[in-house]
Amino acid sequence: MAETNQPAGGRGAVKAAFDAFSEQGIPLKVVRSFLKANKPEGFDCPGCAFPDRPGSFGPDSCEQGQKAIAWEMTPRKADAAFFAQHTLTELRQWRERDIEAVGRLTEPLRYNAQTDRYEPIAWVDALQLAATELRALEPTRVSFYTSGRASNEAAFLWQLLARAYGSANLPDSSNLCHEPSGLALKEQIGVGKGTAQLSDFELADCILVVGQNPATNHPRLMGTLHAASKRGATVLAMNPLVERGFVNFADPKDVGEMLTNTGHRVAKTVYTVKVGGDLAALKGVAKRWVELEAQGQSIFDLAFIREHCEGFEALLADLRGEDWQRIEADSGLSREALHQLADELARSRATLITWCMGLTHHEDAVATIQTLVNLQLLRGMIGKPGTGVVPVRGHSNVQGDRTMGCTFAVPERWIANQEATLPGLRLTRERGLDALGTAQGLLDGSLQGLLSLGGNFAVAGADAPAVLAALSRTPFTLHIATKPNRTHLHPGRTGLLLPCLARTDIDRQDGHEQRVSVEDSMSMVHASKGMQTPLSNEMRSEPAIVAQLGHALLHDGSVPWLHLIQDYDRIRALIERCQQGVFEGFENFNAKLQQPGGFWLPNAAARREWRNAGGRAKLMPHALPTEGVLARAKAGLPASEHARVLSLMTVRSHDQFNTTVYGQDDRYRNVFGTREVVFLSPAEITRLGLHEGQKVDVEGLAIDDGQTRWLRGFEVRKLEMAPGCAAAYFPEATPLVPTGLVAKGARTPAAKALPVRLHPVV
């Protein structure tokens, strides 16, 4: 297809949503989906975690959400007949998209190593087999992974099952994305969640979007930014790539823009920071403010700082001592550009800052996020209308799963509450493995079992080929899933694949339709109720599968597993009691869930209460790194090769949600029919002596483990971006990410600054 400069969103988004349903053979369901998605009496979109608009009468869904809905509402089946026709060895050769496009899992399956196929197994036998396998393993050598798709009810039962069994190994998808955000915020302001609500976007004077491509990954946020810009707010973006949504976006809900097929420039300025240069850029903003203060301008909210903060003088000293030349070199932005950004923010009376994995997937992610929060604290931009910090999470209930205890370390009060509420229950209090620890345990053989509540664990993390191979050597794997994916094609020596209901499916227990609950990125908890009859009577809900496994595995009688799933109100009543003194807001859980739009979990930092060590918000200076990943990679090369080293970031295409790939196109970047591409700026293509369309091998340089990694035969494509940088699609580029290259402290894969060289294919 030819290049297009049509606006992001707009007619193209509406067409793509309808096409997604037509492709699945269910074109008429799109209308009902638009009417039910993210509505009080409907289902929560299985896509991103951006909040629903309260009191919205029109559609409150987006192109990406409708693609996710069509993907799971498909009538196609990945049943026993399909797996009888294909060995797993054969299926491993398929593309990511083609594996999931087979359809919905409709019956429980067991891997047969002799035939190399998944074969049907009765539910009672599958559950008994799982219980037998788990009893034979040491609990501390088994991990229970949680995807952000799982509901609050399923997640609560999942962590209860794991800890009652004796395992605190509860990695979750947040370990792979926003772990640095939670860690940074918890230390700095006492709450590991964002402080703003959706209504704050209507009140902000200025919104800074950092390390994020909302037009593709969070289109409803893009619509919110579009509305803010149109009412006169200043929207600024800082990102290595100049994404189309920032410079030309048409809101599908804007009748005028739809009729004329014209867009609106949302971001006043896009600051093309170097990959990994955000820490330096943010320090440059703060340093500019210090200089303006020295000139007599009032930039800082000194009253707020005196009342609420500590570390002010240390931060000032750090900023005064920082060198502008170093800031410019590390950030890739000129002093003039950083002055402009600082001045824009200084003029604002109400500022919001949002970010995503463009910040979290770096070695210095925690330091970068805390430097970003410093900007808000210096100007008192937390805890008043139109202000706050907003980590925009990627999956619809990833935040809720953590609230429900699906994490490797929890407060003692959480454990004690569960034991007090369920007499006779004894839970492990050990600190468990996170996602990195789980991957390392699989690789070295110390982990003997992996159970997954959704997700595509091996592909979502680092060094996918090695982790997939390790899974095949593992004694036991169990996956609860709606569709097959690549991780499922590498079962353990005993492997189970169990079909669960999706968010859009009607969930009946004991003859009554059930609702589940989810928590969005801004701490709103609301109900979700399916609308579609399941494809098979053999598909069971996630809460039911988890509870039935608990019933088969644990016989002490302390947890009434089967009683709980007869009515999910019982699970929520249990959650309410267990959350006392842990998270505010769950009082009268079931009653609040009846409210249209749900309810907000109070955020102490949003009230300017700082529940961290010292009881004050922390202004935290961070030095610019001197031995970053790029420097370490260059150290192993002759000086003559240093100029060829690029910093490559992984990105998603527009036909994608997380590891789920809907198609081979990325119309916002003019890529059609392929995903094996490497993006460079036109100037970089010329500098390296390449040309667009040329095939190259991408060499992932050895960093700390001495191992070189490769992507073969990728096509060079041009895209406006920062000098010295490159980009390639996730998960195709995941093999370049070493397992040990992680965010300091948070241990999230550092997949956004990979040192590479490009070699033309002869």
Kindly report the pTM of this predicted structure. Answer: 0.95
Does 339 lie in the same domain as 244?
yes
Rounded distance between C-alpha atoms, residue 526 and residue 542, angstroms: 18
Q: Which two tokens stand for residue 736?
A: 């370049």
Coil, strand or helix: which one is 142? Answer: strand
Does 510 lie in the same domain as 583?
yes
Does 709 lie in the same domain as 663?
yes
Mean pLDDT of 499-515: 96
Q: Which two tokens stand for residue 391?
A: 């980590």
Rounded distance between C-alpha atoms, residue 517 and residue 601, angstroms: 13
CA 544, 549, 550: angle at the middle one, nearest 5? 100
Q: Which two tokens stand for residue 667?
A: 């119309």
Q: Which two tokens stand for residue 248?
A: 């030309």
pLDDT in tens, 740-756: 999 999 999 999 999 99
CATH code of 663's domain: 2.40.40.20
pLDDT classification of 2: cutoffs 50, 70, 90: very low
Q: What percent of the chain has pLDDT over 90?
A: 83
Does 387 lie in the same domain as 271?
yes
Rounded distance between C-alpha atoms, residue 556 and residue 588, angstroms: 29
Does 235 lie in the same domain as 141?
no
- Evaluate whether residue 411 is within a structural domain: yes
pLDDT in tens, 311-330: 999 999 999 999 999 999 99
CB-based contacts of 417: which residues, under 8 Å, 6+ apart?
Answer: 577, 578, 579, 580, 581, 582
pLDDT classification of 261: cutoffs 50, 70, 90: confident
Q: Does the pLDDT value for residue 727 go beyond 50?
A: yes
pLDDT classification of 699: cutoffs 50, 70, 90: very high
Rounded distance between C-alpha atoms, residue 560 and residue 571, angstroms: 10
Q: Which two tokens stand for residue 725?
A: 């940088």
Does 502 lie in the same domain as 387?
no
CA 81, 82, 86: angle at the middle one, nearest 5? 120
CATH code of 426's domain: 3.40.50.740
pLDDT in tens, 456-501: 999 999 999 999 999 999 999 999 999 999 999 999 999 999 999 9
Q: Does the pLDDT value for residue 519 go beyond 80?
A: yes
Strand 516-519 to 524-528 pairing: antiparallel
Residue that is written with structure tokens 């950004």 in the block? 341
Domain boundary among the residues 335, 359, 392 is at 392
Structure letter (DSSP) for residue 584:
T
Rounded distance between C-alpha atoms, residue 503 and residue 499, angstroms: 13
Q: 731: cis peptide before it, omega within 30°? A: yes
- Evaluate whether residue 17 is within a structural domain: yes
pLDDT classification of 178: cutoffs 50, 70, 90: very high
Mean model confidence pLDDT for the chain = 94
pLDDT classification of 4: cutoffs 50, 70, 90: low
Domain boundary among the residues 577, 593, 609 is at 593
160, 550 Cβ separation under 8 angstroms: yes
* Total domains, the chain: 4
Q: What's the domain range around 24?
A: 8-73
Domain boundary among the residues 368, 392, 416 is at 392
Does 569 lie in the same domain as 639?
no
Does 586 lie in the same domain as 478?
yes
Q: Which two tokens stand for residue 489?
A: 């094609």
Q: Does the pLDDT value for residue 449 go beyond 90?
A: yes
pLDDT in tens, 16-49: 888 888 889 887 777 777 778 778 888 888 878 7
**Closest CA relative to residue 364, chosen from 755, 635, 745:** 745
Q: Which two tokens stand for residue 130?
A: 């799982």
Rounded distance between C-alpha atoms, residue 366 and residue 188, angstroms: 10
628, 639 Cβ separation under 8 angstroms: no
pLDDT in tens, 205-230: 999 999 999 988 888 898 999 999 99
714, 442 Cβ separation under 8 angstroms: no
Q: Does the pLDDT value for residue 394 go beyond 80?
A: no
CATH code of 219's domain: 3.40.228.10
736, 698 Cβ separation under 8 angstroms: yes
- Mapped to the 3 state alphabet, what secondary structure does 294-340 carry? HCCCCCCCHHHHHHHEECHHHHHHHHHHCCHHHHHHHHCCCHHHHHH
pLDDT classification of 693: cutoffs 50, 70, 90: very high
Does 699 lie in the same domain as 550?
no
Q: Does the pLDDT value for residue 285 go beyond 90?
A: yes
Instruction: Give the helix/strand (H/E) hosting 388.
Output: strand 388-391
Does 244 lie in the same domain as 172?
no
Does 684 lie in the same domain as 540?
no
Does 270 lie in the same domain as 183?
yes
pLDDT in tens, 108-142: 999 999 999 999 999 999 999 999 999 999 999 99
581, 597 Cβ separation under 8 angstroms: no
- Evaluate whether residue 604 is within a structural domain: no
192, 224 Cβ separation under 8 angstroms: no
Q: Does the pLDDT value for residue 530 go beyond 80?
A: yes
pLDDT at 1: 43
pLDDT at 692: 96
